[in-house]
Structure 1
Amino acid sequence: MAGRSRNTPDHPSAAGDGEPGEGLLPADFELADLYGARGGDDEDLDDSAVLVPPITLPPDTELVAAALAVPLISNAIALARWTLPRRPVDEFGDLTEEDREAAARLLGLAPAEGEVPEEAVVEAMRSWALACDLDLVETGTTAEGTHAAIPGPDLEAAEQGDPSVVLGLWLDAAGIMRELAAEADSLAPEGAGDDEDAAEAELADVEQAREAATELLDEALQVLYEMTAFADPGEETVPLGVLAALLVVPEGEEPDEEMLGEITDLMVALDPMLGDLAELGLMEHRPIDPELFEEEDGEDVLAAPSDAEPDEEEAARFGTVRLTPLGQYAVREWLMEQGYDAPLIGELAEGDAEALLRGITEAGNVLPDQELLAWLAGREPQGAARELLAAARGRDANSPVRRMLCAVALDELGEPARPAVLEVVDDPELGGAARAWLRAQGVDIAAPERPVALWTAVDSFAAVMLTSEGDAGRLRELVAGLPVTDNPASYFGELWRVDHPYTAQVLEIVGELHLDRSVAKEARKAAFRARSQHR
Structure 2
Amino acid sequence: MLVPPVKLPDETELAAQAKAVPMLGYALALARWAAPHRVVDEFGDLVEADRAPAARLLGLAPAEGEVSEEDEIEALRAWSLACDLDLVELGTTEAGEHVAVPGPDLEPAEEGDPETVLELWLTAAGIVRELAVEADSLPEESEEEEAEQAADGDEDDEDGLNELEEAREAAAELLDEALQVLYETTAFAEPGNETVPLGVLAALLVVPEGEEPSEELLGDITDVMVALDPMLADLAELGLLEYRPIDPELFDEEEGEEPAVVGEAPLDEEESARFGLVRLTPLGQYGVRQWLLEDGYDAPLVGDLAQGDAAELLRAVCESVNVLPEEELVVWLAGREPVPAARELLAAARGTDAYAPMRRVLAVEALRLLGADAEPAAREVLDDPELGGATRAWLSAIGAADVPVPERQMALWTVVDTFAAQLLGSGGDTELRELIADLPVRDDPAAWFAEVWRVDHPYTADVLEAIGELHPDRVTAKEARKAAFKARSKQS
Aligned counterpart, 1:170:
121
Rate the CA distance shift 1:302–1:271 in 2: closer, same or farther, 3 A: farther
Distance 1:200 1:533 in 2: 75
Q: Answer whether contact 1:68 1:74 (CA < 8 A) is retained.
A: yes
Q: Answer whether contact 1:237 1:321 (CA < 8 A) is retained.
A: yes
SS of residue in 1 equivalent to 2:292? helix
Q: Answer whether contact 2:218 2:261 (CA < 8 A) is retained.
A: no
Q: What amino acid sits opposite 1:234 in the alignment?
A: G
Structure 1 residues 323-360: Cα deviation after superposition (integer angstroms, max 9, x where no partner):
22221221111111212122222332222212222232
Distance 1:288 1:518 in 2: 59
Q: Offset at 1:77?
A: 0.3
- Is 1:201 the counterpart of 2:152 in the alignment? no
The structure 2 residue matched to 1:63, chosen from 3, 10, 14, is: 14
Structure 1 residues 35-54: Cα deviation after superposition (integer angstroms, max 9, x where no partner):
xxxxxxxxxxxxxx4x3122
- Is 1:401 the counterpart of 2:358 in the alignment? yes
Q: What amino acid sits opposite 1:202 in the alignment?
A: G
Q: What amino acid sits opposite 2:92 in the alignment?
A: T
Distance 2:198 2:403 in 1: 58
SS of residue in 2 equivalent to 1:242? helix
Aligned counterpart, 1:390:
347
Distance 1:379 1:521 in 2: 48
Rate the CA distance shift 1:459–1:77 in 2: closer, same or farther, 3 A: same
Rate the CA distance shift 1:456–1:231 in 2: closer, same or farther, 3 A: closer
- Is 1:507 the counterpart of 2:458 in the alignment? no
Distance 1:468 1:296 in 2: 53
SS of residue in 1 equivalent to 2:211? coil
Distance 1:286 1:481 in 2: 48
The structure 2 residue matched to 1:429, chosen from 371, 374, 386, is: 386
Q: Offset at 1:438?
A: 4.5
Larger helix percent = 2
- Is 1:151 the counterpart of 2:102 in the alignment? yes
Aligned counterpart, 1:121:
72
Q: What amino acid sits opposite 1:250 in the alignment?
A: P
Distance 1:113 1:439 in 2: 75
- Is 1:338 the counterpart of 2:320 in the alignment? no
Q: Offset at 1:280?
A: 1.1
Aligned counterpart, 1:183:
134
Q: Answer whether contact 1:382 1:416 (CA < 8 A) is retained.
A: yes
**Residues 364-383 of structure 1: pairs in structure 2 closer than 5 A:** 364-383=321-340
Rate the CA distance shift 1:301–1:517 in 2: closer, same or farther, 3 A: closer
Aligned counterpart, 2:233:
275
- Is 1:110 the counterpart of 2:61 in the alignment? yes
Rate the CA distance shift 1:421–1:110 in 2: closer, same or farther, 3 A: closer
Aligned counterpart, 1:479:
436
Q: Offset at 1:80?
A: 0.6
Aligned counterpart, 1:79:
30
Q: Offset at 1:443?
A: 5.0
Distance 1:502 1:427 in 2: 19
Q: Offset at 1:297?
A: 9.4
Q: Answer whether contact 1:88 1:95 (CA < 8 A) is retained.
A: yes
SS of residue in 2 equivalent to 1:397? coil
Rate the CA distance shift 1:110–1:421 in 2: closer, same or farther, 3 A: closer
Rate the CA distance shift 1:305–1:444 in 2: closer, same or farther, 3 A: closer
Q: Offset at 1:389?
A: 1.2
Q: What amino acid sits opposite 1:414 in the alignment?
A: G
- Is 1:88 the counterpart of 2:46 in the alignment? no
Distance 2:264 2:42 in 1: 60
SS of residue in 2 equivalent to 1:350? coil
Q: What amino acid sits opposite 2:369 in the alignment?
A: E
- Is 1:212 the counterpart of 2:173 in the alignment? no
- Is 1:463 the counterpart of 2:413 in the alignment? no
Q: Offset at 1:494?
A: 3.6
Using structure 1 for the length normalisation, give the TM-score. Answer: 0.83
Q: Offset at 1:244?
A: 1.4
Q: What 5-or-longer segments of structure 2 have no aligned partner?
A: none
**Residues 223-262 of structure 1: pairs in structure 2 closer than 5 A:** 223-262=181-220
Rate the CA distance shift 1:303–1:491 in 2: closer, same or farther, 3 A: closer
Q: Offset at 1:140?
A: 1.2
SS of residue in 1 equivalent to 2:137? coil
Aligned counterpart, 1:323:
280
Aligned counterpart, 2:377:
420
Rate the CA distance shift 1:414–1:235 in 2: closer, same or farther, 3 A: closer
Rate the CA distance shift 1:435–1:117 in 2: closer, same or farther, 3 A: closer
SS of residue in 2 equivalent to 1:365? coil
Q: What amino acid sits opposite 1:211 in the alignment?
A: E
Distance 1:438 1:312 in 2: 44
SS of residue in 2 equivalent to 1:140? strand
Q: Offset at 1:519?
A: 4.1
Rate the CA distance shift 1:482–1:269 in 2: closer, same or farther, 3 A: closer
Rate the CA distance shift 1:532–1:120 in 2: closer, same or farther, 3 A: same
Number of aligned pairs? 484
Q: What amino acid sits opposite 1:270 in the alignment?
A: L
Aligned counterpart, 1:44:
none
The structure 2 residue matched to 1:351, chosen from 289, 308, 321, is: 308
Tell me how large the CA RMSD over aligned residues is.
Answer: 2.7
Structure 1 residues 417-470: Cα deviation after superposition (integer angstroms, max 9, x where no partner):
333334434433223333444455535354445444332221112123334433
Distance 1:446 1:240 in 2: 55
Aligned counterpart, 1:9:
none
SS of residue in 1 equivalent to 2:46? coil
Q: What 5-or-longer segments of structure 1 have no aligned partner?
A: 1-48
**Residues 440-459 of structure 1: pairs in structure 2 closer than 5 A:** 442-444=400-402, 446-459=404-417
Q: Offset at 1:411?
A: 2.5
Rate the CA distance shift 1:519–1:250 in 2: closer, same or farther, 3 A: closer
Q: Answer whether contact 2:381 2:391 (CA < 8 A) is retained.
A: yes
Aligned counterpart, 2:90:
139
Q: What amino acid sits opposite 1:272 in the alignment?
A: P
Distance 1:241 1:518 in 2: 49
SS of residue in 2 equivalent to 1:347? coil
SS of residue in 1 equivalent to 2:99? strand
Distance 2:248 2:476 in 1: 68
Q: Answer whether contact 2:218 2:263 (CA < 8 A) is retained.
A: no
Distance 2:173 2:206 in 1: 14
Q: Answer whether contact 1:485 1:491 (CA < 8 A) is retained.
A: no
Rate the CA distance shift 1:143–1:361 in 2: closer, same or farther, 3 A: same
Distance 1:396 1:172 in 2: 47
Most deviating of 523-532 and 76-85: 523-532
Q: Offset at 1:83?
A: 1.1
Q: What amino acid sits opposite 2:416 in the alignment?
A: V
Structure 1 residues 470-512: Cα deviation after superposition (integer angstroms, max 9, x where no partner):
325x434433544459665454334223332211111112333
Structure 1 residues 295-314: Cα deviation after superposition (integer angstroms, max 9, x where no partner):
4899x974347976444333
Q: What amino acid sits opposite 1:316 in the alignment?
A: A
